[in-house]
């Protein structure tokens, strides 16, 4: 499973954040590793330099083997919380998709 990070111009991507998020994604999505070929992580700050509640956005796009991709978004006060919430949504979507695949 390849993980690709994309950030908007308001975010300074750094290796520490990438490493932390990569390990979090790999840990939480491990059971779907045979289904997922690539994860794209899109981080953005909706307010730019201004402060605001839930202004950090994470969009996760999971590219699946032989299936259409799944995309989820989550907004939170920090990037870590935004990513964690998006991962929870993605896991839920993948569980649903995996259940449907087993029924066919």
Q: How far apart are CA 101 and CA 104, in angstroms?
A: 5
Q: What's residue 39's pLDDT?
A: 96
Asked if residue 104 has pLDDT above 60, the reply is: no
Q: What's residue 102's pLDDT?
A: 65
Phi, psi of 42 (to 5 degrees): -115, 115
Please tell me the pTM assigned to this model.
0.84
Contact 47, 70 (CB under 8 A): no
* Structure confidence by residue, pLDDT tens digits, 52-68: 667 889 999 999 988 89
* Structure confidence by residue, pLDDT tens digits, 8-48: 877 766 778 788 889 999 999 999 988 899 999 999 987 76
* Domain 2-103, classified CATH 3.30.160.100, yes or no: yes
Contact 43, 58 (CB under 8 A): yes
> Over pLDDT 90: what percentage of the chain?
51
Asked if residue 70 has pLDDT above 70, the reply is: yes
Q: What's residue 101's pLDDT?
A: 64
* Spatial CA neighbour of 59 closest among 73, 38, 75: 73
Q: For residue 12, what are the contacts with CB-CB under 8 A and spacing of at least 6?
A: none
Domain boundaries along the sequence of the chain:
2-103
Q: How far apart are CA 58 and CA 82, in angstroms?
A: 5
Q: For residue 10, what are the contacts with CB-CB under 8 A and spacing of at least 6?
A: 44, 45, 48, 49
Q: What's residue 48's pLDDT?
A: 62
């Amino acid at each position: 499973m390849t993980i690709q990070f994309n950030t908007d111009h308001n975010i300074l991507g750094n290796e520490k954040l990438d490493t932390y998020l990569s390990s979090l994604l790999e840990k939480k999505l491990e059971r779907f590793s045979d289904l997922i070929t690539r994860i794209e992580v899109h981080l953005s700050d909706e307010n730019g330099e201004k402060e605001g509640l839930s202004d950090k956005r994470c969009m996760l796009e999971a590219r699946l083997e032989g299936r259409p991709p799944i995309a989820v978004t989550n907004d939170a006060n920090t990037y870590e919380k935004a990513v964690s919430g998006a991962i929870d949504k993605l896991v839920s979507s993948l569980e649903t998709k995996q259940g449907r695949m087993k029924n066919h």
